[in-house]
Amino acid sequence: MHIDDKRLEDLNANMAVFAWMSKAMDYPDEEFVESLLNNQLMENLPEERCRAFKDYIAAFDSTEALLLDLQKDYTRMCHVSKPRLVPLFESVYKEGKLFQDSTFAIARLYDEAGIRPGSEFKLPPDHIALELEFMSYLIYQEMEAIKSGNTDNEHMALRLQEETMSGHLAHFGLSVAERLSQHARSPFYQGMGDMLRVMFQPQEQPDLN
């Protein structure tokens, strides 16, 4: 059985990006800040944004101070503002309030993939961190199917990825990116707006005329 190592390498990189972005869009904790200090993803930001991010990190004399600043910005945008400056739930963007059709639609995809959000994540299933984590999981399932030669599982993983992206994350991710660009004060969350935009911006099709 021939295995395309380059494809697996690319999939592994994509899986890691979705997993890290999932943590970046959840409430920041000490573990995340430690990963932030050692992560190279921010190097992919535009030069000016990357420099601003590095200057922002260097301005803190401890990880605790950096964590507190991130938590303040996240809380201001996503939890205490009325109305929310940056809603984190797909249904708020699509239907204007929580627990609507889009909430249950993404939950059905989770169920079809055989997973349920952990009991420690007591939030609706259309939280952006969960949807990003789900994409990471589906890419992992695709990789495992390729390694084992299970074409049925590979096709299922690809189908669920396409449904998640086209039906949920593509529009949702861009909406969150726009709000972050408008309302984030910290260079980190401004950078997250840029990264989400790159992940979900439709690619221009070449002009064949």
Alpha helices, H only, 38-84? 47-58, 63-75
- What pLDDT is stored for residue 206 in this prediction? 43
- What pLDDT is stored for residue 116 in this prediction? 76
Of residues 162, 99, 155, the one with CA closest to residue 127:
99
pTM exceeds 0.75 for this model: yes
pLDDT single digits (tens) 104-154: 999 999 999 998 766 556 789 999 999 999 999 999 999 999 999 999 999
pLDDT single digits (tens) 44-59: 888 998 899 999 999 9
Domains of the chain, first to last: 5-199 (1.10.3480.10)
Side chain identity, residue 105: A
Q: How confident is the model at residue 9 (pLDDT cuts 50, 70, 90)?
A: very high
pLDDT above 50 for 12: yes
Whether 186 and 33 have beta carbons less than 8 Å apart is answered as no
The SS3 assignment for 85 reads coil
